[in-house]
Structure 1
Amino acid sequence: MKDAAVGIVGAGGWGSALSILLARRGRRVALWARDPAKAERLRTTRVNETYLPGHRLPEAVEVTSELEEVARLPFLILAVPSQGLRSVWERLSPYITPMHSVVNTAKGIEIATGRRLSEVLLDGGKLDKRQLAVLSGPNHAEEVAKGLPTATVVAAYQAETAGAWQELLMAPMFRVYTSDDVVGVELGGALKNVIALAAGIADGLGFGDNTKAAIITRGLVEIARLGIAMGAHPITFSGLSGVGDLVATCSSTHSRNARAGRLIGQGVPVEDVIRSTPMVIEGIPTCRAALVLAERMGVEMPITKAVSDVLFGGKRPETAVWELMGRDPKSELLDLFS
């Protein structure tokens, strides 16, 4: 698969980092930017100053603003924000054939429908489940672009599809594992952003390591509880797309969700936090969508509900913390399944 050609839809930080990774491995890459002016700047400067400053795109990366050009390539990576995925896919799907293999890398849940992003891509029947994969894990774009050791997981309904993407993406410092649990891998990647907001809020309030550890572990319980109710494998949440991504996102200085939560905990209005961040803070829209799913599945997600109350209900972060700490006593292990 050395000569495989890959189209990347989305020239944000992650799409740019993946284009660098693949080009270094000798792949031919076409990178799509929605804005023609941005595409021209990338072609000229070879640096994505807004989303991935300091990292030059190799000459093997062809930048385009035409989706049709990207769709000519057999392997397609979708790297657009979760709430914009459907609109981009509606433009791209007319070019999709049975020869394509598609991997989605966005992490989120569609607000309008409460659907996982793989379900969004399967709507309309243009894409067969056997052509689809999802990629998730503790993968900060900056570190991948630097070539720092990283591990990730690609999940697919068909083992051959997961294996093809594993072979395509594997690099000396980018280790790819496979999974057949599309539901679990997707939910872990989406919901960890909400828990990272909670961890950031705790930091902003001046709380310590005990608090963050509690948020991470009990947050993982919420993620697993919803995932299991939706048919995910419990063990998935102890892997890279579960606890791995959760720890990285709650702890890293690269995490825009944790950073946003920190500002909110310090008293900065949510609207100002959103305006000050050029990239999408995925945990904010995902929080609402997660609660829709939780209600649909009859699952309790108290940390997610507390974050929602702060983001959208005007509740003070301190009040949300006191309410969480004052909940009825429960058994730790049995609580996972109740």
Structure 2
Amino acid sequence: MQETTIAILGAGAWGTALANLAAANGHKVKLWSRHGTETLEAVLQDVHIVLSAISMKGVRDVALQVQSCPLSPETIFVTATKGLEPQTTATPTQIWQAAFPNHPVVVLSGPNLSAEIQKSLPAATVVASNITTAAEKVQLIFSAPRFRVYTNPDPLGVELGGTLKNVMAIAAGVCDGLQLGTNAKAALVTRGLTEMVRIGNFLGAKTETFYGLSGLGDLLATCNSPLSRNYQVGYQMAIGQTLTNILANLPGTAEGVNTCQVLMQLAKQQNIYMPITEQVYRLLQGEVTPQQALDELMLRDIKPEFHFNLKISDDGNI
């Protein structure tokens, strides 16, 4: 593949890991930080791809800044941010696409703990876009012997998988911090996935996407690793730390804290059933202790695991 010039916005652990992958494949990489000295316009000069790996709170502001920079009409935008905007509930892709309606936007998401990728440990991810050729180009740029990249035609589902699992990772951290055991953790993660699908379907994502790398895969990674910042929030709250102290000492942003608040706004407006998200929200707000949140989840009304909608044809087949 010919050399591509890539601007990566966000020089944190995730942005740096992606920069290293692209550079190792022979591409020219420009890394930009809001706290650096190089201007955004200088970094964006003559680039083919703009990849955003900044935290959710900075996405709209940076997108507006990029709008004022001269870009080729062929430029592809890639978003690797996981979160929802509080004021609008918009995803990062929706913000970038609104700012650049005539450009392809690709989502990159998966079970990608940046510390492991930096060590060249094997990993896989998903790139998704409504424009297949754009996703395939990004796939080639980041694919490596130890970083396998898949494509997917459901960008919203891929993006929401990476976003919604952060709330479940907080709950998983609480589970481990309270030493509730493997059975409890397995039940939590499974029911967490069901909740993710329910929310995702409501927002327009495809069910099957949540059973792939960007949904179940990312959920398993972040619910089982101390490297996950969201997991650390839940774990440390369960052993008695305050949320304020945890966030002050966390390296980077735990997007699940903000995402949980946005989801509860959505749940109340649209009457979506989110029992795990609700208890995580109440815990983060200081309304319940970790043990009380657990009791609330365990003491809910008994119900079927699934509601099967089976259609039987005239010949008796399902």
| TM interval, short-chain normalised | over 0.9
Report SS of the residue matched to 1:123: helix
1:77 aligned to 47, 51, 58, which one?
A: 51
2:156 maps to what in 1?
A: 183
2:82 aligned to 107, 111, 122, which one?
A: 107
1:132 aligned to 71, 88, 105, which one?
A: 105
**In 1, Cα distance between the equivalents of 2:65 and 2:247?**
27
> Aligned runs of 1:40-59 on 2, under 5 Å?
none
**In 2, Cα distance between the equivalents of 1:159 and 1:259?**
36
**In 2, Cα distance between the equivalents of 1:213 and 1:280?**
26
**In 1, Cα distance between the equivalents of 2:251 and 2:74?**
35
String of CA shifts for 1:167-213, please: whole Å, max 9, x gaps. Answer: 11111111111111111111110010100000001111121111111
Alignment CA distance shift 1:11-1:145 (3 Å): same
1:318 maps to what in 2?
A: 291
**Two-structure CA RMSD over aligned residues (Å):** 1.5
Alignment CA distance shift 1:165-1:297 (3 Å): farther
Most deviating of 25-34 and 89-98: 89-98
Identity of aligned residues (%): 41
1:53 maps to what in 2?
A: none
Q: Residue 306 in 1 paired to residue 279 in 2? A: yes
Q: Which amino acid aligns with 1:9?
A: L
Report SS of the residue matched to 2:68: helix
Query: 5+ unaligned residues in a row in structure 2: which ranges?
Result: 310-318
Q: Which amino acid aligns with 1:292?
A: Q
1:121 maps to what in 2?
A: 96
1:292 Cα deviation from its structure 2 partner? 2.2
String of CA shifts for 1:23-56, please: whole Å, max 9, x gaps. Answer: 11111100001113xx6xxxxxxxxxxxxxxxxx
Equivalent pairs, count: 307
> Aligned runs of 1:161-240 on 2, under 5 Å?
161-240=134-213
String of CA shifts for 1:61-107, please: whole Å, max 9, x gaps. Answer: xxxx3111221211111000012111111111222442210000000
1:313 Cα deviation from its structure 2 partner? 4.0
Q: Is the 8 A contact 1:14 1:79 kept in 2?
A: yes
Q: Is the 8 A contact 1:229 1:297 kept in 2?
A: no
Q: Which amino acid aligns with 1:119?
A: Q
The TM-score, its normalising length taken from structure 1, stands at 0.87
**In 2, Cα distance between the equivalents of 1:97 and 1:127?**
14
Q: Which amino acid aligns with 2:224?
A: S
**In 2, Cα distance between the equivalents of 1:4 and 1:310?**
46
1:297 Cα deviation from its structure 2 partner? 3.8
Report SS of the residue matched to 1:103: strand
1:159 aligned to 119, 122, 132, which one?
A: 132
1:149 Cα deviation from its structure 2 partner? 1.1
Report SS of the residue matched to 1:151: strand
Alignment CA distance shift 1:161-1:153 (3 Å): same
1:255 Cα deviation from its structure 2 partner? 0.7
Report SS of the residue matched to 1:333: coil
Q: Is the 8 A contact 1:230 1:297 kept in 2?
A: no
Query: 5+ unaligned residues in a row in structure 1: which ranges?
Result: 40-64
